[in-house]
Amino acid sequence: MLHDVNVLVVDDNPLAVSLLTMVLEDSYATICSAGSIKEAFDKLNNKKIDIILLDLDLPDNKDIKIVGEFQKVYPQIPVVIITGIVSQDLNKQAISYGAQDILIKGNMDSEKIVLTVYHSIERQKRWVWKNS
């Protein structure tokens, strides 16, 4: 399902990165990771990335507004938030800043992760096409 999809996982938790890598590589995606926002922008500048899975609790950023920064610089790349926080306010804010979806740590199974990635890429493609 995710053949030739390049995923950037932005999370400073090695266990979370390992889990997402294992699940997504089983669906034939290629994974690279970054442990900070700075490292994420470096990777985005040097690699072809199709989707960003972004943790909001990073050493150099804890602000939901970073989603908007990614969308401003890379409008064609969907952002999916990965978080341990369950909050309607967070959901509303994430979507308002341009996130395609939210995955809750501890409440993700393989199928949900893969489908979220696939659907987010497809929605972003339609949005870019419609707005170009």
pTM: 0.93
- Whether the pLDDT of residue 101 is over 90: the answer is yes
pLDDT recorded at residue 2: 76
Q: For 45-54, what is each residue's pLDDT tens digit?
A: 999 999 999 9
pLDDT band of 124, cuts 50, 70, 90? confident
pLDDT band of 61, cuts 50, 70, 90? confident
Q: For 16-58, what is each residue's pLDDT tens digit?
A: 999 999 999 999 999 999 999 999 999 999 999 999 999 999 9
Domain ranges of the chain: 6-130
d(CA 80, CA 57): 14
d(CA 58, CA 49): 20
pLDDT band of 131, cuts 50, 70, 90? confident
Classify domain 6-130 at the CATH superfamily level.
Answer: Response regulator (3.40.50.2300)
